């Protein structure tokens, strides 16, 4: 190597070092924002895992999977919005001017089962919690939500399925990135990623959850003389109230358990200590490696910093959506929301709050603002005599009717009134199984339009029985806010088998070298009359036959009305290029037309 070569090499290495450092700095600057939301990660994981078992249409593109909904969910959710569900089950509008498709739903596999499962768990809890009937705690328990969660029963570990019954002695372990909600009678516990609990007792009046590690949010509704106890080592946390959070984690001297009394009081005791927490108080207990207490618990107040925690905020949103009283958590999602990574939106507060939650249609009228009718008959002396009623938001604005037109070619046009309010970010066309109430953050969507004037969407809808609703989302800050929404419309799409035309040959693909590494491709338009989604400029290594639906190295998308790529930069190499007109008749990718292959050497 000559001296010049060495100098040259050193200069380039120096540049590389500068870039490496810049990359590290840039990654660090964005590191918080680049972490996927845990709820999203868990939901997508569940979708993917559910996809593995081959179904009749497995492997097809853009397919919408039909998934089982938790049985208890439908009547509860339906009861929440009877007017919506009953209004437009067969709504078909007159002709509508189809708009340009902007952004199709790229989420192809809905997470309905998980979303509805989440809603079910809180809705069930909300209903029973708010009831004055003091329902007896059932001895049986189930996992209403289980994502990346294992069940250890009699020493044998297996994957915990949604809806699986749980028995005394069962241990439930949630993997990192997973989550689980266990419903025990009228109480439930949401387990955070990495948590581990064992169900020591599930009798009708005595629930004992042994929280072995990790974090869990407990929502308690026990009747009569029943109680709900969580064991962490030698310490028992007995719910005298309704909602509390326990976080058990390792520290250098053993373990630390932090309890937060979020709604009403919480008692803790072991052989050496006894303490009572009022709502709004926290306790930190240090455990030795053997699980016994080291010293008296440190009791303090729950401050805003503690509440600015994504796990608590997520639980607060779920409880709020179910109409449950929030206690201290109300501050976490108040008018000025604290920072959060949660993807669950809150509803717009457009009217003065009401004291009685409106989302509990089955609750018997009760003039008392006391939010916990299922609490013990002998209240703890530490309990607040008159718990604050939690204001319940009245919900988004009514945007009007969502209308659906069957275009007869496998596509449907959805249209809705324009939103004229403030805070507009997106129109989201949400869908779920028939009978559900699609809501942003919990349900999948077909369209996401960012222009307020773009108040319709035309696209292919796979066969299925759907509930569809349009919501106006303000996602400018976390958590997202639902500004307005249409009614829920029932849409049933029968499986159709259209007779598709043979692929039309578009002739040659013309290439023009623009210089500076850029090229312009031109092609003849498709004239077959079928609706397709996009032209795909695909390429593969020469010699080869590039195909968007088959083998390709890469591709670009162009609208159905375009016949030129514009000037685009190409990667170096020896390539074979082709343009294809691709649509999704019946939900499956199909080639309506193609050009001839052109060979291109890009320096």
Partner 1 sequence: MAADRERVLVEQARGDCTAFGELYDFYLPRIYGFIFRRVQDRCVAEDLTSVTFQRALENVRRADFRNECFGGWLFRVASNAVVDHARRDRRFVSLADLAESEEPGDLALDALSAALDRDQLRRALLGLPAGHRDLLVMRFYDDLDTAELCAAFGCSRETLAVRMHRALRALRAAIAKEAADVA
Instruction: Give residues 497-526 in contact with partner 1 (rule: CB under 8 A).
Output: 514, 516-518
Contact indicator for 217, 189 with CB cutoff of 8 Å: yes
Q: 59 to 88, contacts with partner 1 by CB under 8 A?
A: 59, 61
CA distance 268 to 380: 12
* 437, 80 contact by CB (below 8 A): yes
- Pattern of binders to partner 1 over 416-435, x per CB under 8 A? ----------x---------
Q: Please give the C-alpha separations between residue 130 and each of 123, 166, 377, 381, in angstroms, as whole numbers.
A: 10, 24, 16, 23
Does position 55 interact with partner 1 (CB under 8 A)? The reply is no
Which residues, in sequence order, are CB contacts of 374 under 8 Å at separation 6+? 128, 129, 131, 134, 135, 186, 221, 222, 223
User: Residues 174 to 233: which contact partner 1 by CB under 8 A?
Assistant: 176-177
Residues 225-284 binding partner 1 (CB under 8 A) are none
Examine residue 97 and tell whether it contacts partner 1 (CB under 8 A): no
> Is 562 among the residues that bind partner 1 (CB under 8 A)?
yes
Cα separation, 565 vs 514, in Å, equals: 12
Q: By CB under 8 A, is residue 23 in contact with partner 1?
A: yes
Q: Kindly report the CA angle at 447 between 445 and 452, in degrees rounded to 5?
A: 125
Nearer Cβ to partner 1 (22/358) = 22
378 touches partner 1 by CB under 8 A: no
Distance (Å, whole) CA 323 – CA 305: 24
Q: What is the DSSP code (8-state) at residue 68?
A: P
Scan residues 339-368 and list those touching partner 1 (CB under 8 A): 343
* Minimum CB distance to partner 1 smaller for 139 or for 150: 150
Residue 448 sits in the site that holds partner 1 (CB under 8 A): yes
Residue 254 zone, left/alpha/beta (φ > 0; ψ -120 to 50; rest)? left
Candidate ranges 32-40, 137-145, 215-223, 330-338; the one touching partner 1 (CB under 8 A)? 32-40
> Counting contacts by CB under 8 A, is residue 296 touching partner 1?
no
Q: Which member of 140, 571, 574, 596 binds partner 1 (CB under 8 A)?
A: 571
Asked whether the beta carbons of 504 and 527 are under 8 A apart, the reply is yes
Q: How far is the CB of 475 from partner 1 (least distance, A)?
A: 6
Instruction: Name which of 22 and 289 has its Cβ closer to partner 1.
Output: 22
Among 29, 133, 298, 596, binds partner 1 (CB under 8 A): 29
Candidate list 104, 221, 470, 579; residue touching partner 1; CB under 8 A: 104
Residue 37 found at the interface with partner 1 (CB under 8 A) = yes
Stretch that binds partner 1, among 24-32, 180-188, 234-242, 497-505 (CB under 8 A): 24-32
Options 47-55, 181-189, 244-252, 578-586: segment touching partner 1 (CB under 8 A)? 47-55
Kind plus residue range of the DSSP H or E element containing 79 = helix 73-80
CB 445 within 8 A of CB 432: no
Q: Which stretch binds partner 1 (CB under 8 A): 30-38, 83-91, 399-407, 502-510?
A: 30-38
Nearer to partner 1, 354 or 541 (CB): 541
Among 6, 10, 26, 284, the residue binding partner 1 under the rule CB under 8 A is 26
* 281 or 340: CB nearest partner 1: 340
Least distance to partner 1, CB of residue 41, Å:
6
Q: Point out which span in 37-45, 79-87, 298-306, 311-319 binds partner 1 (CB under 8 A).
A: 37-45
| DSSP state string for 288-348 | -TTS-B-S--EEEE--HHHH--HHHHHHHHHHHHTT---GGGGGGGSSSPPP------EE-
Interface residue with partner 1, options 354, 398, 496, 564 (CB under 8 A): 564
CA distance 52 to 146: 17
Span 528-557, contacts to partner 1 by CB under 8 A: 534, 541, 553-557
CA 369/CA 69 separation, integer angstroms: 33
Distance from chain centroid for Cα 434? 19
Q: Which is nearer to partner 1, 293 or 343 (CB)?
A: 343
Per CB under 8 A, 161 contacts partner 1 = no
Residues 6+ apart with CB under 8 A from 80: 123, 359, 361, 437
Helical pair 112-130 and 310-321, crossing angle rounded to 10 deg? 70
Selected from 64, 69, 73, 105, the binder of partner 1 by CB under 8 A is 105
* Interface with partner 1, residue 109, by CB under 8 A: yes
Q: Identify how many contiguous H helices and E strands the chain contains and give both numbers.
A: 7, 34
Total binding residues toward partner 1, as defined by CB under 8 A = 71
Site mask for partner 1 (CB under 8 A), range 452-481, x = bound: -----------------------x------
Question: Between 118 and 209, whose beta carbon lies closer to partner 1?
Answer: 118
Rounded to whole angstroms, the Cα distance separating 270 from 443 reads: 44
SS3 14: helix
Compute the least distance from the CB of residue 537 to partner 1, in Å: 10
């Amino acid at each position: 190597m000559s001296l010049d070569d060495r100098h040259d090499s050193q200069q380039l290495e120096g540049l590389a070092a500068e870039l490496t450092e810049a990359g590290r700095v840039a990654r660090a600057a964005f590191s918080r924002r680049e972490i996927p939301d845990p709820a999203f990660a868990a939901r997508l994981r569940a979708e993917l895992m559910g996809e593995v078992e081959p179904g009749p249409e497995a492997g097809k593109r853009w397919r919408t999977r039909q998934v089982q909904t938790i049985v208890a969910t439908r009547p509860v959710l339906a009861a929440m919005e009877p007017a919506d569900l009953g209004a437009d089950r067969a709504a078909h509008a007159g002709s509508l001017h189809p708009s340009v498709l902007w952004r199709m739903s790229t989420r192809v596999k809905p997470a309905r089962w998980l979303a509805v499962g989440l809603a079910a768990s809180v809705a069930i809890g909300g209903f029973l919690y708010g009831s004055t009937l003091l329902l007896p705690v059932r001895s049986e328990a189930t996992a209403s939500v289980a994502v990346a969660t294992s069940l250890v029963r009699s020493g044998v570990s297996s994957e915990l399925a949604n809806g699986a019954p749980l028995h005394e002695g069962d241990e439930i372990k949630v993997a990192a990135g997973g989550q689980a909600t266990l419903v025990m009678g009228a109480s439930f516990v949401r387990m955070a990623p990495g948590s581990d609990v064992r169900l020591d007792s599930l009798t009708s009046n005595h629930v004992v959850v042994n929280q072995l590690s990790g974090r869990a949010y407990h929502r308690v509704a026990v009747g009569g003389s029943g109680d709900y106890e969580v064991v962490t080592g030698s310490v028992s946390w007995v719910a005298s109230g309704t909602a509390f959070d326990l976080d058990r984690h390792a520290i250098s001297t053993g373990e630390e358990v932090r309890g937060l009394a979020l709604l009403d009081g919480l008692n803790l005791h072991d052989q050496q200590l006894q303490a009572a927490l009022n709502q709004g108080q926290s306790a930190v207990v240090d455990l030795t490696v053997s699980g016994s207490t080291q010293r008296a618990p440190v009791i303090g107040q729950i401050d805003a910093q503690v509440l600015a925690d994504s796990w608590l905020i997520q639980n607060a949103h779920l409880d709020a959506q179910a109409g449950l009283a929030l206690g201290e958590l109300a501050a976490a999602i108040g008018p000025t929301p604290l920072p959060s990574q949660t993807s669950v939106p809150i509803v717009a507060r457009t009217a003065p709050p009401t004291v009685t939650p409106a989302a509990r249609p089955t609750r018997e009228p009760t003039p008392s603002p006391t939010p916990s009718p299922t609490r013990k008959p002998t209240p703890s002396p530490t309990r607040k005599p008159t718990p604050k009623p939690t204001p319940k938001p009245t919900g988004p604005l009514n945007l009007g009717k969502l209308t659906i037109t069957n275009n007869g070619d496998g596509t449907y046009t959805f249209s809705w009134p324009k939103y004229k309010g403030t805070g507009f970010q997106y129109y989201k066309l949400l869908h779920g199984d028939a009978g559900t109430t699609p809501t942003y953050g919990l349900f999948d969507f077909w369209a996401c339009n960012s222009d307020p004037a773009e108040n319709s969407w035309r696209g292919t809808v796979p066969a299925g029985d759907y509930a569809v609703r349009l919501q106006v989302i303000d996602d400018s800050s976390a958590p997202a806010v639902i500004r307005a929404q249409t009614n829920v419309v029932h849409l049933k799409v029968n499986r159709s088998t259209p007779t598709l035309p043979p692929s039309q040959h578009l002739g040659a693909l013309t290439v023009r070298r623009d210089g500076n590494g850029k090229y312009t491709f031109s092609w003849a338009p498709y004239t077959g009359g079928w609706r397709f989604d996009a032209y795909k400029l695909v390429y593969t290594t020469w010699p080869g036959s590039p195909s968007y639906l088959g083998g390709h190295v890469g591709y670009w998308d162009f609208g159905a009305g375009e016949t030129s790529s514009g000037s685009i930069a190409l990667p170096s190499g020896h390539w074979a290029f082709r343009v294809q007109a691709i649509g999704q008749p019946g939900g499956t990718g199909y080639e309506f037309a193609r050009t001839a292959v052109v060979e291109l050497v890009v320096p």
